[in-house]
Structure 1
Amino acid sequence: MIEEEQPKAEAPAEAEPTSEKSEKDQKKKGSFWKELPILLGVAVVVALLVRTFVMQSFWIPSGSMEHTLDVEDRVLVNKLVYDFRDPERGEIIVFTAPEEWRSDPNEEDFIKRVIGIGGDHVVCCDEQNRITVNDKPIDETSYLYTNPDGVQDAPSNNQFDIWVPEGRLWVMGDHRSASGDSRENFMRFKDINRSTIAVDAVIGKAFVTIWPVDRWRWLSVPDTFDDIPEPPKRP
């Protein structure tokens, strides 16, 4: 009779000596602390590159864009988009303001809405008190400031009829009665170059409000800027 072979018990694995295990753990910990400065350095470099070339947050210090942007809002700005194209009408941009626009020399960065681009004919106002761009009226009621009594700012309290030079932008705040912008500076200087900003001065496009949380929203271009015609022939 063939007897059934009984399974042989495996020999128990020898426990790793405590001293060797402790030594390995110490090496792992040592390796982590050696790598940590490198990891932190890489993280800092990446953050700086993103901030310098891709995106940056900006704090709103004034009421010139109310209530699209309120005081102490924070917006995220795309700094890369204008490496591939120029700013477009209706976009909200951050730019380095000319020194003569600043009430405080340290306040370099301004935020406004682009109303006219190079070559545009911008006029205030038509019979319905609307600004026109290349003879098309723009309806600004969706974003112009409205005070606590329900009274909305006029598109402009001053008349103007200008042509935007090539490579420059005509910009205005949404809170027209409290905005140092192209319109106000044109009234001061009567000089189209001193009252517009260079495309090269633009830092980026504000595309979302990120703070406070209850004001989070995309900053899209209003429909009224759709289908603006080409500029008419300049007289």
Structure 2
Amino acid sequence: MSPDHDDPPSRGERPAHGEESRSPVSTVSEPASGKGKRKQLPIWQESILLLGIALVLAVVIKAFLVQAFYIPSQSMEPGLVQNDRILVQKVSYWGDDGPDRGDVIVFEDPGGWLGPEDTQGPTTLVSKALAKVGLYPTGGHLVKRVIGVGGDEVVCCDKQGRLSVNGVTLDESDYVKSGASCAAPMIDCSLDAGPLPEGYLLVMGDNRANSADSTARMCADPEAEQCPPTRGLVKVDDVVGKVFALVWPRDRWDHVTRPDVFEDVPDSP
């Protein structure tokens, strides 16, 4: 035969072409043999892992987002009554945004506002563990409403017993307990505070006659040398967060909001 023509393939060479055509099939089928599969954890190990992740998330949520508290007294009636469970969110006060007038806040005891029985935290092992993740209230905190912020002037009261902030009279009938006398803690029913120092808040309970708040601790004589101007006020840095929900008991579930009346109060000059 002429060298210009290739010989036709013999029968013995055909299996080589067959092997090439089958090679992709054998490659694809390798994972089906079980090689390369990820080993699955036993169910008990998965449960421990998931529990650990849940606990870490709970701690992070408590530290940065939401925390549970309870109402220890009658000072915030009628909106919040004793033993109510509330949720406090911390996001609103991130950065430079502090509490607004009208916010219901939870704050750490500034010092001497609470008695020993009120500062005691959880005592049992279970309650301590729940407190760590924000599911059980801790001691040493108070719940009040912000009336004045830094720079504000707060005056009480007019003939109708109403507060004024920066010259604007507040109609607080929607949230303040009605029919309450101001004989205590606002001893002589008068208050003239301000301008409030920057970084401090004047707080009051909605049950004005039964609330050991700023008005109960401010100086009777503001000119006295032994009386610091911040006495009775709450540091913004001591604020844990803003109350946004009443969650227990279930029949009293409610969303806690800032009253509209505070929208009319101008900022201090």
Common fold, TM-score beyond 0.5?
yes
1:177 is matched with: 209
1:36 aligns with 2:47: yes
1:220 aligns with 2:232: no
Secondary structure in structure 2 of the residue aligned to 1:101: coil
2:190 is matched with: 159
List aligned pairs for 1:1-235, cutoff 5 A.
31-84=42-95, 85-104=97-116, 106=119, 107-146=139-178, 151-154=179-182, 158-163=189-194, 164-187=196-219, 190=222, 191=227, 192-232=229-269
Secondary structure in structure 1 of the residue aligned to 2:106: strand
Identity value in percent: 42
Distance 1:213 1:189 in 2: 45
The gaps in structure 1 that reach 5 residues or longer are 1-26
Letter in 2 for 1:134: N
CA offset digits 1:39-79 (Å, max 9, x no partner): 11011110111112110110111111011100110011002
Moved more, 174-183 or 94-103: 94-103
Distance 1:199 1:65, change over 3 A: same
The gaps in structure 2 that reach 5 residues or longer are 1-38, 120-138
Moved more, 180-189 or 106-115: 180-189
Secondary structure in structure 2 of the residue aligned to 1:144: coil
CA deviation after TM superposition for structure 1 residue 134, in Å: 0.2
1:5 is matched with: none
Secondary structure in structure 1 of the residue aligned to 2:146: strand
1:3 is matched with: none
Distance 1:128 1:181, change over 3 A: same
Number of aligned residue pairs: 201
Does the 8 A contact of 2:180 with 2:208 survive in 1?
Answer: no
Letter in 1 for 2:149: I
Instruction: Give the TM-score normalised by structure 1.
Output: 0.79
Letter in 1 for 2:192: D
Q: Tell me which structure has the larger Cα radius of gyration.
A: 2
Distance 1:189 1:213 in 2: 45
Instruction: Give the TM-score normalised by structure 2.
Output: 0.70
Does the 8 A contact of 1:144 with 1:153 survive in 2?
Answer: no
